[in-house]
Amino acid sequence: MTPDQPVFLVPSRYSEWTGMAAEMMDKIRQQVPGVHLEHIGSTAVPDLPAKDVVDILAGVEADRVSSVSQHLATIGFDLEGERDHHCWLSHPSRSSRTYILHVVEYESLPWRRRISFRDLLRSDESARAEYLRTKIRSAKAARNWDDYTQSKTSIVSNLLSGSASEKN
């Protein structure tokens, strides 16, 4: 995928995506001792159309986020970006993504929000429907993956702010 490649949603292949996530998480566990892993994103939600890319969340201690990401980049991941306590990598590459891996501090706010959002979509049919409507509009309007992701930010925040897990 080039930086300006459009976003396409495909019908859910939840069982396949779950199996792919499990396989990749096993590989990551072999390379990163003590890592906490979760299958996140739309591919982790039954019956939700998604980009055909499996998202995985890796949680480590704050001081290991960068070093773990650098290590993963030496074994076949493509380190796409890095911010304070958050790195994201693609596999096998950013031009041909099958996986996107987010490395963050375990149990930090970004960790909890990503899991809370996945769990909200799994359990709340109306939230899932509202998110899907936004995903479809965003995929049609976005010039590239970054546009697509940015255009969904407000709906994610709105849905999370109304969920019980965000209020606790």
User: pLDDT tens, 154-164?
Assistant: 888 999 998 75
Is pTM beyond 0.85? Reply is yes
Neighbouring CB atoms inside 10 A of 81's CB total 12
SS3 call for 38: strand
Q: Give the integer Cα–Cα distance in Å for 38 and 49.
A: 19
Report pLDDT digits (tens) over 33-47.
999 999 999 999 999
- CB 93, CB 57: distance < 8 Å: no
- Both tokens of residue 44? 């982790």
| Best CATH choice for the domain 14-162 from the list 3.30.1360.100, 3.30.460.10, 3.40.50.720, 3.40.50.2300 | 3.30.460.10
N-terminal to C-terminal alpha carbon distance within the chain: 39
What's 50's DSSP letter? B
